[in-house]
Chain A
Amino acid sequence: MDAVGLEARAAALGTRSIKTTAKAYAIDLAISMVDLTTLEGADTPGKVRALGAKAVHPDPTDRTAPTTAAVCVYPDMVAAAKAAVAGSGVKVASVATAFPAGRAALGVKLADVRDAVEAGADEIDMVIDRGAFLAGDYLKVYDEITAVKAACGDARLKVIFETGELSTYDNIRRASWLGMLAGADFIKTSTGKVAVNATPANTLLMLEAVRDFRAQTGVQVGVKPAGGIRTTKDAVKFLVLVNETAGGDWLDNHWFRFGASSLLNDLLMQRQKLATGRYSGPDYVTVD
């Protein structure tokens, strides 16, 4: 990887000008790709219910707004989340494997995964063992992913690299291939819990990886940038990266997600602006 060239390409695609009908399309697509997330120590069933309701009806004033892709919670909140989104088509994703640090024995991590799956999680967001990766023990990272994948059963597996801790683009690229070869259904940038999370450059690089992986193996893998994407403008830039790198096949919430919470309200305000011609405000979207 050449860092300067990669960042220059990401920046160049960031200058695409997405207006009018293209913007409306992108906003609805982005809403449908949000994994609406709450991962706090203070999470309660009430908080998760509110989040679920928002995922099902993002804009209470406009029922044409699409639902989000999923809600994303800790394993012990999966049951509450399932109840909140029942019948809506919104998926429940659960972080697991001693999220976010991943510092636990494999048995504990697998128990964490099974717990979430048994509670009804449709998707599991695991973290890789960054310590093992940085120590060069790639086999340990690989084996752990395959074990978690087996524990997932029918649930789709998202593998989080914590790109901010892997630090270099070479590492992120290596981790992407490792994750895909080990059976990831999605590769995901980050937990949202460290200083540097999703960036246009690291997401571009992962999009190149899934594109190349499909070309070589025929297997399509999804991508989920998470953390730090807060505005419609940012989200549209990521969709441009998808469109011009992996291509149109990834422009679907089965293959691309945004791990975010505050992003949704900005998307909704921009959506209202396009629909009404007037600027919206924070009191015209819901807090949760």
Chain B
Amino acid sequence: MTSAFEYAPAPESRSVVDIAPSYGLFIDGEFTDAADGKVFKTVSPSTEEVLSEVARAGAEDVDRAVAAARRAFTSWSALPGSERAKYLFRIARIVQERSRELAVLETLDNGKPIKETRDADLPLVAAHFFYYAGWADKLGHAGFGADPKPLGVAGQVIPWNFPLLMLAWKIAPALAAGNTVVLKPAETTPLSALFFADICRQAGLPKGVVNILPGYGDAGAALVAHPGVNKVAFTGSTAVGKEIARTVAGTDKKVTLELGGKGANIVFDDAPIDQAVEGIVTGIFFNQGQVCCAGSRLLVQESIHDELLDSLKRRLSTLRLGDPLDKNTDIGAINSAEQLARISALADQGEAEGAERWSPACELPSAGYWFAPTLFTNVTQAHTVARDEIFGPVLSVLTFRTPDEAVAKANNTQYGLSAGIWTEKGSRILAVASRLRAGVVWSNTFNKFDPTSPFGGYKESGFGREGGRHGLEAYLDV
């Protein structure tokens, strides 16, 4: 089926964002060079163009930032909650006002399509600050005692898949509860956090309440291990999460970890097929599958396997891969060469182990880091692609015969972050959801987020919850 309806290029204007040639660390309200003068380059994954040169934090900078946060904590934590709320509301409104600029920036630095940064990331960032601003003067009503106290300085390390959104998930509840923050963004996506530093200044946030330290894993490790940090919050890989758990063992630091996943998307034979197909696509191809709660395992009832796969393949053939700034792009670039290599290696392993690989006809750009949407069929629980988190646009398709088998296979993983259920039968949704060991279970939808809803994992997907009333607990002395 060929169409004459070719969509002309519809690029979002790049000129709405002004990226400086270099950026410093943000410590105590000022941009500053790293103590040892080190810098690193951040590139646009869709073109490999260098966007900016950014100061690289080291151990000495972590010391400075934690000291600034400690100083700021005294007065920040003493502010009435209603005063802290004013700052958070102000930040939320500035994020909204600058959302087009931030969406373009995030798309440039991360590689994800503009339609996602515009319609998902940025609205959720603002919503998160609005939501926790509302809690700041109501902490005594959150179920943690009449007058719960903040912990102190929060050391936060965030990933590259949703750079500004993960920052919002970390910073909003921390500040609402009265803590101060030292945050390290990922080395491949430091820019939106540095723009956020500018927003903090624009909002008149007192110096030292938020400190941003772009850098690599060594800076993250130094931050987590720093004796001046009272609370560690990490989102990222399970391997690093385990390392952090070892580091903080034996200290009185409070920890929350949001790690990997291998989410099962379970489609029963009475599911609404066209909507299920959309949910499968959203589940694994949203953000190129670089989502910890991705629905990377499709568990489909064997009786509808062929029909569903036909529909899914036809749908994948309509996905538009290319320039992330084009408003009609569905699939953008993979975030880094390193991640692309990892995805490629795992996909090759899937093929070597005998799973059947399929991708729609799809031309990949010559520059940048790209991976075509990929399906693996004839996958069993024993295949690596059914067990390991790939963190890319790769879906493994398995079958089941009965609800019991679906639940058993869905739970048969080291992870437990997300799951999805597709059926038109409400009673089945409730029965299956209560037996799934996953922190989030979506029914007849997938990858829906809201600041009021707690998010977090079972097993090696981590512990603690972010979002909602539950998200406050991690930042209060309870």
Contact = CB atoms under 8 A, between A and B. Distances in A.
A251 B3 contact: yes
B3 A248 contact: yes
B367 interface: no
Contact of A248 (B4, B9, B275): B4
Contacts of A17: 7, 10, 327-328
B3 A243 contact: yes
Contacts of B4: 25, 248, 251
A23 B8 contact: yes
A173 to B, nearest CB: 10
Contacts of A240: 5
Given A15-B327, A17-B328, A244-B318, A5 B5 contact: no
B2 A248 contact: yes
Given A2-B272, A249-B1, A20 B8 contact: yes
Contacts of A55: none
Given A17-B10, A244-B318, A2 B5 contact: no
A247 B3 contact: yes
Contacts of A243: 3, 5
A16 interface: yes
Contacts of B272: 1-2, 5-6
Contacts of B18: none
A29 B444 CA distance: 36
A240 B3 CA distance: 11
B114 to A, nearest CB: 10
A22 B445 CA distance: 32
Interface string A97-114: 000000000000000000
A174 B81 CA distance: 55
Interface in A36-92: none
Among B5, B9, B279, residue most surrounded by chain A Cβ atoms (within 10 Å): B5
Chain A interface, DSSP helix/strand/loop, else mixed: helix
A21 B5 contact: no
Contacts of B310: 215
Contacts of B445: 4-5
A127 interface: no
B278 interface: yes
B6 interface: yes
B1 to A, nearest CB: 4
Interface string A194-224: 0000000000000010000001000000000
Nearest to B119: A15
Interface string A242-259: 011001110100000000
Residue from A6, A22, A240 having most chain B Cβ neighbours under 10 A? A22
Contacts of B444: 2, 4-5
A22 B318 CA distance: 17
A239 B6 CA distance: 12
Given A2-B424, A4-B445, A9 B5 contact: no
A8 interface: yes
B82 to A, nearest CB: 37
Interface string B5-22: 111111000000000000
A26 interface: yes
Nearest to A25: B5
A18 interface: yes
A19 interface: yes
Contact of A2 (B7, B8, B275): B275
B348 interface: no
Of A5, A22, A248, A251, the most chain B CB neighbours within 10 A belong to: A5
B426 to A, nearest CB: 12
Given A1-B275, A22-B6, A248 B1 contact: yes
A168 to B, nearest CB: 12
Contact of A22 (B5, B119, B274, B275): B5
Q: Which of B7, B10, B115 has the most CB of A within 10 A?
A: B7
Contacts of B279: 5
A120 B476 CA distance: 80
A247 B275 contact: no
A255 B328 CA distance: 25
Nearest to B10: A17
Contacts of A5: 272, 274-275, 278-279, 444-445
A22 B10 CA distance: 10
Most A-side CB within 10 Å, residue of B6, B119, B274, B318 = B274
A287 B112 CA distance: 47
A25 B7 CA distance: 10
A248 B274 contact: no
Contacts of A25: 4-6
Contact of A16 (B1, B6, B7, B278): B7
Contacts of A21: 6, 8
A239 B1 CA distance: 16
Contacts of B119: 15
A18 B7 CA distance: 6
Contact of B274 (A6, A23, A251): A6
Interface of B: 1-10, 115, 119, 272, 274-275, 278-279, 310, 318, 327-328, 424, 444-445
Given A15-B119, A248-B5, 18 more contacts: A1-B275, A2-B272, A2-B275, A2-B444, A4-B444, A5-B272, A6-B275, A9-B274, A15-B327, A16-B7, A17-B10, A19-B10, A20-B8, A21-B6, A21-B8, A244-B318, A247-B3, A251-B5
22 contacts: A2-B444, A4-B444, A6-B274, A6-B275, A8-B278, A9-B274, A9-B275, A16-B327, A17-B327, A17-B328, A18-B7, A20-B8, A22-B5, A22-B7, A22-B8, A23-B8, A25-B6, A240-B5, A243-B5, A247-B1, A248-B4, A249-B1
Top 8 nearest A-B pairs (CB, nearest first) are: A248-B3, A5-B275, A17-B10, A17-B327, A247-B1, A2-B275, A22-B8, A2-B272
Interface of A: 1-2, 4-6, 8-9, 15-23, 25-26, 29, 208, 215, 239-240, 243-244, 247-249, 251
